[in-house]
Amino acid sequence: MSVVTEPGTETGPAAGAAPAVRPDAGRTAPARHPLLAVAGRVLATAATAATVFVIATFATFALGAASGSNPAAVALGEVATQADIDRLNHVFGLDRPFLVRYFDWLGSALTGDLGTSWFTTIPVSTSIAQAFPVSLSIATGATLCALVGGSALGILAAVNRGGILDRVVTVLSSIATTVPAFVVAIALILLFGHAIPLFPVAGYVPPTKDVGAWLTCLVLPSVALSLDAGADIARQLRTSLVGALTENYVIGARVHGLSPARIVFRHALPNATAPALSALGVHVPRLVGGAVITEVIFGMPGLGRLANTSALQGDVPVVQGVLLVAIAVVVVSGVVINLAIRRSTGTGRNAA
Amino acid sequence: MSRSDQSRSGAWTVRLALGLVAIVAVLAVAGPALAPYDPLAQDTALALHGSSPAHLLGTDYLGRDVLSRLLAGAPASLLSALAAALIGLLVGALPGALSAFLPRPAEWLALRVVDALLALPFILFAIVFAALLGNGLVQATTAIGLLIAPGFFRISRAATLRVRDAQYVEAATLLGASAWWVLGRHAWRQVAPTLVVAGISALGSALLAVASLTFLGIGVQPPAPTWGGMLASDLGYLAQRPEGPLAPALAIVLTVGALNLLADAVRDRTGAARVRHRAGANRKETADV
C-alpha cells in the first residue's frame, strides 16, 4: 500500500485507507497459524499495492493518450502530413484500441521494455537507466538527511520539552515547512557557491568515477530536498516521544535507576517511531516529485529533468516510462514503510 | 500536536498573518494596476542594478523593474493557486464525505483510487500533465487542483466517519435517514470547519506548486511575469546580483507562511469549539481533537 496514515489530518479512528484493510487481517489473524497470518497480511499488502500501481499507471497512460501528441508531430514537426501521421501511428502501434495499448504497455514494462522515444528513437529504458541512479542518489540522500536530522532534532526537543531548545526546534520546523525546496536550493547555492566554496553547486559525478566527488555533489541537493520531510519527522517524533516519556513504564524505568539515555533510546523511542515513519511515508511521493526542481537547479541529469524536457517535447513514451518508474518507487517504499510501522507498533505492544 | 504552543504564542501572530493575507489578497486583484512601470519594458542600460529610488527593488537582467514584475505577477501566481485549491475542494470533499456511506467493496475501490492518486509524485505529475496538455496556466491549475483533491477526500472522509459513528447519527439512520440526509443535516456542520482549515493550508501548498511549475517554465510563457519565473531568471545572474532572488522568494515564503499561521489559528478556534461541543458525548475521539 502506497499511503500510510497521514499524521495531523487523521485525528479520529478513521485513518484514511488503513482501516479498510486492517480489520480483515486483524479479525482472521488470531484463529490462524502465525505464519499463515503473516502470509495473509503480506498477500493483502501486495494486492493493495498492485491495485494502486495499476490505477496510478492507468492514469499516467490515459494522460499520455489524452495529450493528442503523436510520433509524427514530435519527430517531423509542422511538415508532417496526414499520411506520415498514419504511418508512424501504425509503426508505434497507436492505431490499436486504448485498452489494448495500455495492457500491452504495462505487460512489456514489467519485462523491462518501455518502448522507444518518439523524438530520438532511443529505447526509453536506456534513457531511464542512465537517469535513474542520479535521482535515486538524491532521493536516498534526502531521505537520510531527513531521517537523521529530523530524528535528532525531534529527540532533542522532546527531551528538553518546554525548554529553549524545544521552542527553537518548533520554530525551525515551521519555517522549514514554509520555505519551498527551490528557495532553499538557491540560498544554498549563494552560500556555498560564493561565500563558502565547500561543495560543488552544479553537476553530477557518478560513483563509478569518483566516490568522493559523488558524495560531495549530492550534499547540497539532498539537504535542499530534505528540509520539508525532516521538519515533519522532527515534529511527529517530538509529539509521540513526549507522549511516550510520560508513560508509566518510563517512570518505572526511572525508579529502577536506568540512565536517561537508556530510557529514551531503549524504552521510549521504539514506541514513538510509528508517527515519524508515517510522516516519512507521506513525504516519499513529494521527495520523488520534488527531485525535479532540485535536479534542474543543481544541473543534474536525473529522471525529473528527463520528464520535464520530454513532456515539453510531447515525447509521450519517455514521460510515461519515467512516471511508471516513479510510481513503482513510491508504491514499493510505501510497502516497506508500512511494514516498518507494523513492526514498530508490534514491538510497542509487546513492551507495554 | 503543537497546538498548545501555537495558542501560547498569542494573538499577534494571527493578526500579522491576517494582515499579510489581506495585503496579498489586494495584490492578487490590484497588483498590475499598482505597478510603477510596465513589467515588460526593457532598458538594457539599467540591467542588473541594485535598489535605487527610481527602482525600489532594482532591475533584472533585461533592465525590467523588479517591483513592477512582482506586482504584475501577483494575479497569475495567487489566483491560479486559489483556483487550484477550489478545484481540489470541489473534487475531493464531497466524494470523501459520501465514501463514508458506501458499501464495503465500493469503499475499498474508492480508497484505492485515492491511494493511487496520492502515489503520483506531485510536482512531477503536475509538470507532465500541464506540459503534455498544452502548457498553459489553466492546465497547470487543473493539474494541481486534481492532485490536491485526494487530500481533501481523506480529510473530509475522516471527519465524516467521526460523525457517522455518533449516537445521534445512528439514531437518525435507524429512523430511516439516507446518507444524503445525514450529510446535509448532521455531518456538514462538523466537517465544514475541518475543510476550511484544510482549504487554507491547501491554498499554501497550491501556491508553492504554482511557483514550482512557473519556476520550471511551465504554465506561463517567459515574458509574462510570475514569482516562480522571476526566481528562475534571477538564478542565472547570481554572480552579478546575488540579492536578486530575495524579492520573489520572500513574496512566496511570506504568503505561504501567513496562510499556514492562519490555518493553525482557525484550527485552534474551531478545534476548541468542537471539544466543548462534544464534551457531553464523552467519546474517545475528543481526546484527539
Domain locations in chain B as residue ranges: 75-288
Q: Residue A341 has which C-alpha cell?
A: 510501522
**Closest-CA residue of chain B to A285:** B121
- C-alpha dihedral, B127 to B131 to B134 to B136, nearest 10°: 50
Grid cell, residue B153, equals 477526500
CATH number of A134-352: 1.10.3720.10
Residue A123: phi and psi, rounded to 5, are -55, 135
Task: Give the residue among B183, B172, B170 at the shortest CA–CA distance from B96.
Answer: B183
- Answer whether B287 touches A (CB < 8 Å): no
The answer to whether residue A3 scores a pLDDT higher than 70 is no
How close does chain B come to A308, measured CA to CA in Å? Answer: 7
Asked if residue A148 has pLDDT above 50, the reply is: yes
Nearest residue to B68 (alpha-carbon basis) of B247, B232, B228, B216: B247
| Closest to B74 in 3D by CA, of B15, B37, B33 | B33
Between B210 and A5, residue with greater pLDDT: B210
pLDDT at A33 over 80: no
Angstrom distance (rounded) from CA B227 to CA A256: 59
Mean per-residue pLDDT, A180-198 = 79
- Structural contact between residues B268 and B6, judged by C-beta atoms closer than 8 angstroms: yes
Calpha distance A306→A296 (Å, rounded) = 10
Place of cell 509529539: A239
Q: Please report how many Cα atoms fall inside a 13 Å half-sphere around the Cα of residue B140, on the Cβ side.
A: 28
Distance of CA B242 to the CA centre of its chain: 29
Say yes or no for a CB contact (<8 Å) between B158 and A289: no
C-alpha span between A229 and A225 (Å, rounded) = 8
Helix or strand or coil: residue B234? helix
C-alpha cell at B139: 492546465
Binary contact (B122, A292; C-beta < 8 A)? no
Report the share of chain A in percent with pLDDT over 70.
84
The ranges assigned to domains in chain A are: 47-113, 134-352
Rounded to whole angstroms, what are the CA distances from B141 to A17, A64, A309, A320, B81?
Answer: 27, 18, 20, 21, 7
* C-alpha B184: how far from chain center: 26
Q: Do the Cβ atoms of B285 and A15 come closer than 8 Å?
A: no
pLDDT score at B55? 66
Calculate how close chain B gets to A238, using CA atoms only, in Å: 9
**Residue B65 carries which DSSP code?**
B
The pLDDT of residue A74 is 66
Q: Are A44 and A21 in contact (CB under 8 A)?
A: yes
Beta-carbon separation of A186 and B245 below 8 A: yes
Q: Residue A284 in contact with residue A334, Cβ under 8 Å?
A: yes
Handedness of CA B89, B95, B98, B104 (dihedral sign): negative
> Which residues are paired to B59 by β-bridges?
B65
Band of pLDDT at residue A78, cut at 50, 70 and 90? low
Each residue of A276-288: pLDDT tens digit? 888 888 788 878 8
What residues of A are in contact with residue B154 (Cβ under 8 Å)?
6, 9-10, 16-17
Q: How many residues does chain A have?
A: 352
Mean pLDDT of each 10-residue bin along chain B, 289 residues long? 49 79 80 71 67 69 74 81 90 83 81 80 81 79 87 85 78 78 74 82 86 80 77 75 78 84 77 42 33
Question: Nearest Cα to B75, choosing from B190, B234, B224, B176?
Answer: B224
Res. A19: pLDDT tops 70: no
**Angstrom distance (rounded) from CA A292 to CA A298:** 10
The residue with greater pLDDT, A293 or B11, is A293
Question: Which residues, at least 6 apart from B61, have a Cβ–Cβ distance to it below 8 Å?
Answer: B47, B48, B233, B236, B237, B240, B241
CB contact under 8 A, B115 and A194: no
ipTM over 0.85: no
User: Distance, in angstroms, between B289 CA and closest chain A CA?
Assistant: 6
Task: State whether B132 and A170 contact (CB < 8 Å).
Answer: no
Q: Which residues on A lie below 8 Å from B116 (Cβ)?
A: 2, 51-56, 59
- Please list every residue in chain B whose beta carbon sits closer than 8 Å to the beta carbon of residue A319: 128, 132
The confidence score (pLDDT) of residue B281 equals: 36
The string of DSSP letters for A2-41 reads --PPPTTT--SS--TTHHHHHHHHHHHTTTS-HHHHHHHH
CB contact under 8 A, A190 and B238: yes
For A97-166, give the secondary structure using H, E and C: CHHHHHHHHHHHHHCCCCCECCCCCCEHHHHHHHHHHHHHHHHHHHHHHHHHHHHHHHHHHHHCCCCHHH
CATH 3.40.50.720 fits B75-288, yes or no: no
Q: Which pLDDT score is estimated for B56?
A: 67
Is the alpha carbon torsion for B286, A340, A152, A199 positive or negative?
negative
Nearest C-alpha of chain B: how many angstroms from A266?
23
Q: How far is CA B162 from the centre of its chain?
A: 25
For chain A, what is the mean pLDDT? 76
Interface of B with A in 13-52 (CB under 8 A): none
Minimum mean pLDDT among A137-141, A320-324, B119-123: which range?
A: B119-123
- pLDDT for B223 equals 72
Give the mutation candidate from B1, B16, B109, B118 for the A interface (greatest A CB count, under 10 A): B118
| pLDDT value at A116 more than 70 | yes
CA distance A123 to A129: 10
Burial of A254 (0-12, 13-18, 19+ CB in 10 A): middle
- The Cα–Cα gap between A174 and B264 comes to 11
d(CA A94, CA A20): 38
Q: Which of B116, B118, B121 is nearest residue A288 as measured by Cβ atoms?
A: B121
Mutation for A interface: B108, B128, B165, most A CBs within 10 A: B128
Q: How far is CA B63 from the centre of its chain?
A: 32
pLDDT surpasses 80 at A256? yes
> Residue A170 is nearest to which of B5, B113, B284, comparing CB atoms?
B5
> pLDDT at position A5, please?
41
pLDDT value, residue B87:
92
Q: Minimal Cα distance from B118: which residue of A?
A: A3
Rounded CA-CA distance A272/A245 in Å is 9
Residue that wins the pLDDT comparison between B3 and A289: A289
- Give the C-alpha separation, B253 to B266, whole Å: 20
pLDDT band, residue A31 (cuts 50/70/90): low
Q: Are B193 and B289 in contact (CB under 8 A)?
A: no
Chain centroid to CA A94: how far?
Answer: 32
Inspect the interface and report whether the beta carbons of A323 and B120 lie closer than 8 Å.
yes
In the numeric block, the cell 475521539 is attached to: B285
Considering only CB atoms, B116 lies closest to which of A12, A59, A174, namely A59
Inter-chain residue contact A20 with B119, CB threshold 8 Å: no
- Which residues partner with B65 through β-bridges? B59
Q: What share of chain B is helix, strand, coil (3-state, %, to 5)?
A: 75, 0, 25
Sign of the C-alpha dihedral computed for residues B67, B73, B77 and B78 taken in this order? positive
Give the Cα separation of A119 and A329 in Å (integer). 26
pLDDT digits (tens, 9 = 90+) for A101-111: 888 888 887 88
SS3 B59: strand
Closest partner CB to B128 (pick from A63, A189, A235): A63
CA distance B109 to B102: 10
Q: Which residues contact A339 (CB under 8 A, 6 or more apart)?
A: A45
Backbone angles phi, psi at B65, to 5 degrees: -70, 120
